[in-house]
Structure formats: C-alpha cells, structure tokens
Amino acid sequence: MKKKRQQVFRDPLYGYIHIDYDFITELIDSSVFQRLRRIRQLSGVHMVFHAAEHSRFTHALGVYELAYRFLKIEEINEALNEREQQLFLAAALLHDIGHGAYSHAFEYVFKVNHEKIGARIIQEHPEITKVLDKIDKDFKYDCASIILKKGKYPLIEQLISSQLDIDRLDYLERDAYFTGAAYGHIDLDRLMRVVTVKNNRLVFKASGIHAIENYLVARYHMYWQVYYHPKARAYEVILEKIYLRVKD
C-alpha cells in the first residue's frame, strides 16, 4: 500500500531518498536491515582513505533510490506491472542484506556467498517475511529469486546485477564521494536518458556511448586506485589470515 504522504531521507548524492510504500519503511526499520548501519561498505579501504566510513545501509538506500528513479523512465515503467515494480524496489533495497562485517574476506575463507545468505534472510527472517507476506505469499520467494538471479525476472535482475546496473552506479559514485577520489564520477543523468527496454532486456541507445565509456573508465580507475590499493589489499589479506586461524 502506498503512503498517504511520501517519506524522504536526506542523502549526499541524490538529495533525497523517496519512500512511497509502507512496506519499504517497514523493511528499513527491521533489525536485520538496521544492522547494515554498522557494516562498512568498503571494509579495509578506510585504512587508506580515512573518510571512507560509509555503511552498507547508506549504499542499500542509494540503490533503492536509483530503482525508484529508474521506474520513472517510461519504457521501464511500462515493462513492469505494479507487483514487479514493488519487487524491483524491495530487491534493490535488500540486495546486500546478506553481507556481514568484512564480508568479502569472510566469504573467501569460509566459502559462503552473501547472495545466498541474503536470499535465505529474505525467505526466512521473521521480520522480513512478516512484511513481504502482506503483499502476497510468493513475494518473498520471488524477491529471493531476483537476488539469486534465477532468470524469472530478467529485466529486474539486469537492472540490479549486471555489468552496468544500479548497484554499480551507486557504489562507484558513493565510494568516489567518500574516498575523495576524483575519477569515480559518472554521468548518471545521461545514462538514464539513453536507457530503454527491448525484448524484456535493458539496452542503451548508441547516443549514450560516451556516457557508457565514461562509466567503464571510472570503474577501472576506482578498482585500481581504491578497491585494489596495495594497503587496502594488505588489510584484507590480514583479515583472511585471522579468519583462517579462527577456522582452524
């Protein structure tokens, strides 16, 4: 059910995060989602870029907001019915709910997958299922299938997880903002103007080639200058060795 009055959160990138549905607020208020406030988005990168203290929580809200904005694009809005639009918003919000602290090092050592953990949380955590079951009994399973990329909702899956998706669009811009890196910025407005839908797949018009190239270059530089910074990687290796000691 839509809210009588739209709820908003302030955000340094987008100005406002817009919440139209009560169930989205309920998901945000759940304890399992609120725990993302205490998990750094960039793990050990803050040891190099001191301001990179932002959380999985802020990233999840950012990805949700991009889903909200992409639904304003006529071709995407028309390609998805109301239930599918709600699925898109829910999956965007919950796409990283399976992450834990220092998640990538943990996954590497213990051979677990945050998508599978997230899908299980969506299907089994009582606070989440209580909210999603109000929509319909299959909603939680469909939301989990999007996280696991089962292929039932290819357009939504592509929007959330592909080579150019709302997850990457948010984390590149957000990570660049908080690290102070000048080379991670992308032309989001242009990308949104050149996106369309064909045969239930997301495609970009040829006129957007320069914006796409800019995105690819920004992604390349962020990986080599931020995510793969030698000191940040050394921190991850230390964490992996700690986890290995715990495992043994």
Supply 118's token pair.
């997230």
Cα–Cα nearest to 40, from 112, 99, 90: 99
Is residue 58 within 8 A of residue 9, CB to CB? The reply is no
Host domain of residue 203: 2-247
pTM of the shown model: 0.96
User: For position 5, what pLDDT does the model report?
Assistant: 82
The predicted model gives 182-208 an average pLDDT of: 96
User: For position 56, what pLDDT does the model report?
Assistant: 98
Cα–Cα nearest to 48, from 171, 172, 178: 178
Is residue 226 within 8 A of residue 43, CB to CB? The reply is no
Is residue 211 within 8 A of residue 164, CB to CB? The reply is no
Sign of the CA dihedral with 191 first, then 164, 70, and 81 last: positive
User: For position 40, what pLDDT does the model report?
Assistant: 95
User: For position 190, what pLDDT does the model report?
Assistant: 98
pLDDT tens digits, 197-210 = 999 999 999 999 99
In the structure, what pLDDT confidence band is assigned to residue 3 with cuts at 50, 70 and 90? confident
Is residue 177 within 8 A of residue 14, CB to CB? The reply is no
Say how many domains are in the chain: 1
pLDDT tens digits, 128-175 = 999 999 999 999 999 999 999 999 999 999 999 999 999 999 999 999
Is residue 95 within 8 A of residue 74, CB to CB? The reply is no
User: For position 104, what pLDDT does the model report?
Assistant: 87
Supply 104's token pair.
């990538």
Q: Residue 45: give its domain's CATH number.
A: 1.10.3210.10
